Amino acid sequence: MTHPSPSTTAHDPDSPVDPQPRWIGVALLALLLVSFGLRAWDAAQGLNAHRYYDERYPLKNVSAILLHGEIRPRNAFYTSLSYLPQTAALAASQWLFEVTRYEPFAIYSASSDGYSPTAYLICRLINVLYGTLSLWVLFLIGRRIYSPAVGLLAAAILAAFGRHVQSSGEFKPDILVLFLVTLTFYWTLAAAFRPSLRRFLLVGVGVGLSVSAKYTGVAAAIPLTAAVLAEGRRDRRQWLWLVLAGVASVVTFVILNPFLDVVFDSISFLSHTYATTGAEEESGHWVVFTRQIQFLSDQHGPVVTAFVGLGVLGLLWRIFRPASEDARERRLGSILVLCLLLGYSVLHALGMTLFRGQNYLPVVPFSSLAAAWAMVELWRWLCLRFPWLAWRPVAALVWAGVGAALVAQQETLVYVRVVPTTFSLMNEELLGELDPTGMRHVVYERPLGTFDTGGRPRRPLVTPVDRLTAVPPAFLDGTDVEVFPQSRLDGPAADFYRDRVARCARDQVEIVGVRWFHSRGEPIVILRHLWELVGDPVDLQVRRPDEDSPFLVGRVPEGLTKPGETVSLMFWIPRGAAGRDVDQLRLDPGGRSVPIFDTGRRLNRLFRTSTRFTLTGTEQRVRVPSIGTDDPARGYGLELYEWRPETAPAHP
């Protein structure tokens, strides 16, 4: 039996590395500062419970500790390291507030979940730090295995990965587990290059920390296992150390997550939920595998993804046919990189029937490293054939362009996430001014975007159309707001759009333009012609004509309907009752159809509102079809609203 004891080389993580060019350090520092700043800018947006739904799960465990003094977690969907550092930081901030009474330190407020913007900012900035540190650790890995240039390029590629940017600004453990898996891989290099019990145990602790952030952290165990199989399979000590490393990982996890009943309950719930959702979406193992490739392609971009493929193939070739400059450590390091990248991909596809990008993030540092290695190797090959490329000014220009493109990519990602579109600004502005919200009608051109009600219980009646020219002018006249791109005023149907503008007073026309760091997209035109309510709504007192009638009716009071009168109808349904799918009312006699649309809820009522329409003067009752006979009429409601054009300016 042999006991390999490799000599110290420049690739040994425990030994000094060759001096690197000063520009590498300067470029790395610039990359880290820019990446931290961009991610912090993104994290500082929407400091409330509404931006990211999943932030509520770790916050429940934070509340258990800070508000109730209970260390037993409310759930273990995300394990302890996903929230313990944030809990400590929040406690420190609140202590500072109590000592200084300086309001920005306060972590509690009268918000929907009780936490202040400061609390969300602290939680997210810690994740921004994790994301930035993961770039630094990946640089160290690339430098140890290949060269400082490969490490720097890999860090820049990872920094430009879209999901890395997003996860760095969320209070979720996805970026922490990526950082810990990357850090554990760096420790694994030391254990693989110079095996010892201490190094193996450190890797075991790293695996335990990774799984204590999120269950996908088990990916950190793959490289050390691969190292023993590749280099130490005949060394009994390494097998023993591997077992002890496994014990260390379990002990670390249990120390940080002592309430194993909560852990097992959460794992069972998550497994069932993923399996059920996968079945509903008709997903399977092959779908997960293909979506992994699609995920890397979408997030890396087609060019970098092509280099990922070249890198994987090139590294496989160099493992089996090493070049003269490939030392043992470099070859072994390449094996470990591919084992984590390909091994986790296979295990993830075999173990899951539902793909979620955040669960595949642990491979991204290593796909970035493979792409960076391929780029540098291709450049070396080109320089051998075209020596003028190696001339320093040319090389500096080329690589500065590559670096600038990668930095610009992450800047663009953050800018798009942070700076709202002109349509979003319009959306928010209208939600704040339309009153009563559930009775107002907005029509807009669909290519501009999707109208977002912001989670509000009541919302306006919204009609998206491809182009306003496809809608009768009389219908547009009955709405409160029209929205279309400013470019329509100079397009093929310019006369139509200019006529729409001419119908409104000057102070009822608004153009939302593009301004740096304020709005992006294309300028849009907002036309306001708000209608004014006449008197109070009329309760039509719905009832069943007889016990077995499958519909409800509301009688219109005599003398109320006048020819040419503009009205709208609002029908409400008790929550849980029949009638949720009713999409039209009928005017009798004649059975004239009046479409109704979902305009939200309030308390236990679901509201359906019609657009404005003109009466003929013959209407006697309003019929609600398809209600069924099981529910009593009590609880349903039907109101009629009279309208007239507003005489005062609607938007000063």
26-31 average pLDDT score: 96
Tens digits of residue pLDDT in 235-274: 899 999 999 999 999 999 999 999 999 999 999 999 999 9
Check residues 309 and 324 and name the one with the higher pLDDT: 309
Structure tokens at 7: 């000599």
Strand 592-602 relative to strand 605-610, pairing? antiparallel
Q: Indicate left, alpha or beta for 603 from its phi (over 0: left) and psi (-120 to 50: alpha).
A: left
pTM of the model: 0.86
Which SS3 state, helix, strand or coil, does residue 615 take? coil
Q: Average pLDDT, stretch 98-115?
A: 91
Strand 566-574 and strand 637-645: the pairing is antiparallel
pLDDT bracket for residue 629 (50, 70, 90): low
Which two tokens mark 624? 């609600």
Nearest to 585 by CA among 627, 629, 523, 546: 627
Determine the Cα–Cα distance for residues 426 and 335; give it in Å rounded to an integer: 53
Q: What confidence category does residue 8 fall into, taking pLDDT thresholds of 50, 70 and 90?
A: very low
Residue 181, pLDDT above cutoff 50: yes
Distance of alpha carbon 256 from alpha carbon 211, whole angstroms: 10
CA-closest candidate to residue 143, choices 446, 470, 372: 372
Q: What was the pLDDT predicted at 220?
A: 96
pLDDT score of 500 more than 50: yes
Amino acid 18: pLDDT: 56
Instruction: Write down the pLDDT at residue 112.
Output: 81
Q: Is the pLDDT of residue 41 over 70?
A: yes
Q: Is the pLDDT of residue 107 over 70?
A: yes
What is d(CA 365, CA 311) in angstroms, rounded to the nearest whole number? 13
Q: Say which CATH architecture domain 533-645 belongs to.
A: Sandwich (2.60)
Question: What percentage of the chain exceeds 90 in pLDDT?
Answer: 73
Asked if residue 373 has pLDDT above 80, the reply is yes
Does residue 578 or residue 115 have the better pLDDT?
A: 115
- Of residues 17 and 203, more confidently modeled: 203
560 pLDDT band (50/70/90 cuts)?
Answer: confident
What is the tens place of the pLDDT at every residue in 574-598?
Answer: 887 766 678 899 999 888 999 999 9
Q: What is the predicted pLDDT for the residue at 626? A: 65
The token duo for 301 is 């971009």
Residue 398 has pLDDT above 80, yes or no: yes
Q: What is the pLDDT of residues 126-144, one digit of tens each?
A: 999 999 999 999 999 999 9
**pLDDT value for 650:** 42
Mean pLDDT of 150-156: 97
Kind of pairing, strands 524-528 and 509-512?
Answer: antiparallel
Task: Report strand pairing: 566-574 vs 531-533.
Answer: unpaired
**Is 422-529's fold the same as 533-645's?**
no
251 neighbors 208 (Cβ within 8 angstroms): yes
* β-pair type (552-555, 566-574): unpaired
- What is the residue type of 604? N
For residues 537-544, average pLDDT: 88
pLDDT in tens, 62-104: 999 999 989 999 888 899 999 999 999 999 999 999 999 999 9
Structural domain boundaries in the chain: 22-415, 422-529, 533-645
Is 450 or 20 the better-scoring residue by pLDDT? 450
Q: Where on the phi/psi map is residue 579: left (φ > 0), alpha (ψ -120 to 50), or beta? A: left
Closest CA to 306 of 367, 387, 234, 238: 367
Q: 356 φ, ψ to 5°? A: -135, 125
Indicate the range of 15-24, 379-388, 447-456, 591-600 predicted with least confidence: 15-24
At the topology level, CATH places domain 422-529 in D-Maltodextrin-Binding Protein; domain 2 (3.40.190)
Q: What is the pLDDT of residue 121?
A: 96
pLDDT level of residue 17 (50, 70, 90 thresholds): low
My answer on whether omega of the bond before 365 falls inside 30° of 0, hence cis, is no
Give the best-scoring range by mean pLDDT among 5-9, 241-245, 491-495, 500-504: 241-245
- Is residue 43 within 8 Å of 35, Cβ to Cβ? no
Q: Which of 11-20, 40-49, 470-479, 515-524 has the lowest mean pLDDT?
A: 11-20
Q: What phi and psi values does residue 594 have, to the nearest 5 degrees?
A: -125, 105
**Mean pLDDT, residues 386-406 taken together:** 92
pLDDT score of 628 more than 80: no
* pLDDT for 234: 86
Please, which pLDDT band fits residue 367 given cuts at 50, 70 and 90?
Answer: very high
Percentage of residues in the chain having pLDDT higher than 70:
94
pLDDT on residue 579 = 63
- The pLDDT, as a whole number, for residue 355 is 94
Amino acid 11: pLDDT: 43
* Residue 297: pLDDT over 50: yes
